[in-house]
Amino acid sequence: MSGNGINLSDLKELFVKYYGESDHEIRIFTAPGRVNLIGEHIDYCGGSVFPAALTLSCTAAVRLNGTDWIRLGADDLEDVYTFSLRDPQAGKRLKWGNYQAGVINALLEEGYLIRGMDFLFTGNIPFGSGLSSSAAIELTTAVAAATLSENYEEKGLDLIRMAQLGQLAEHTFCGVNCGIMDQFASAMGKRDHAILLDCASLNYKYVPLALGDYTLVLANTCKKHALGASEYNKRREEVAEGLRRLNAALGENRANLCDFSEAEYAAAEARLGPDKVKDRVKHVIFENERVKRAVSALENGNLKAFGTILCEAHASIRDLYEVTGPELDTMFEIASHTDGCIGARMTGAGFGGCTVNIVRKESAEAFIRDVGRAYTQRTGIVPEFYLCTAGDGARELF
């Protein structure tokens, strides 16, 4: 999976080269990456987030193999990685494929009678871009393996549950204590819509991504983030401590930081300690409120207000949550001061990856040229840009 992808007819031909001929049918499954428009690092705090699935995706050719082995390959890998369904935990030790193995293990624990099958993956989601290639791999695997399971007619395919199993796989097999947003967006995406998702209840609604004369431009810093090696899990620990302190300060016993209001934060701020925990708490609570304001602005057609709120969100994630880094901040500063751009911010877990930018359609080409040139001059890195639209969620193609 080089991030470039190959067309489906070539994928089937390559599949046969990897695994040989068979009487079993080759079937094609896909799941998208996602961009989070606003609501960063609050999905694991019970907050509301506003992602959209992308037309950038992970795709897999899949075929039953008549054994009790799972075989995993990709268009840019020479080797095939295998594990037995009799010992799915062995998938944790794979050099490549532990995301898929984690999903298979979760499906088995869910009661799916998974059969031996072969996978060949391709995709065009850039790795390390913060656009959730991992969630796309997880959901492609989940939908394929569940659909081809022995008891599919009995178990069915609950896409929200598939998202939860993808999240569980990332926790148990990959060591990343992620929230639900990435997997939910990949599973439940809808063309030309974003999803307002309450991560505490999983209540959601689709909101038309009506940008009028504007479009989404994703700017990849090409500073790859390494989520498992980053401070992501440290932030989880900090907000857990922040919740404990805030509950103690206010005499409450609430389950999530996003259950608190900005006014309640202000009342307790002086009692939250002198360290960084207070800043983390402030970002989470105020970001949750920004999501509500941003969605309201979009629904009312006030795109300039929507863009302004995105810029506010970047400042918060930079100054209070501290997960941006010099490359993302440089890209944001250049983009947000370039003609035609009315809003910008980092998207994803941070420490590299992409900014999402709201750019006037007629200015998009010049925006890409000018921002790219200025970014390279300041960092020495050549960035990548993607003109994106919102796409559908995980599914079988044919």
75 is a catalytic site residue: no
Residues 6+ apart with CB under 8 A from 144: 27, 29, 60, 62, 117, 119, 396
Are the CB atoms for 128 and 353 separated by under 8 Å?
yes
Asked whether the beta carbons of 26 and 8 are under 8 A apart, the reply is: no
Phi, psi (degrees; rounded to nearest 5) at 95: -65, -35
Q: Are 135 and 14 in contact (CB under 8 A)?
A: no
User: Nearest Cα to 77, choosing from 21, 132, 126, 18?
Assistant: 18
Encode 356-365: b = buried (16+ Cβ within 10 Å), e = exposed.
bbbbbeebbe
Q: Could you identify the residue written with the tokens 């857990």?
A: 240
Residue of 43, 75, 118, 182 with catalytic role: 182
What is the C-alpha separation between 9 and 169, in angstroms, rounded? 30
Render the burial of 33-52: b for 16+ CB within 10 Å, e for the rest: bbbbbbbbbbbbbbbbbbbb
Which positions are catalytic?
182
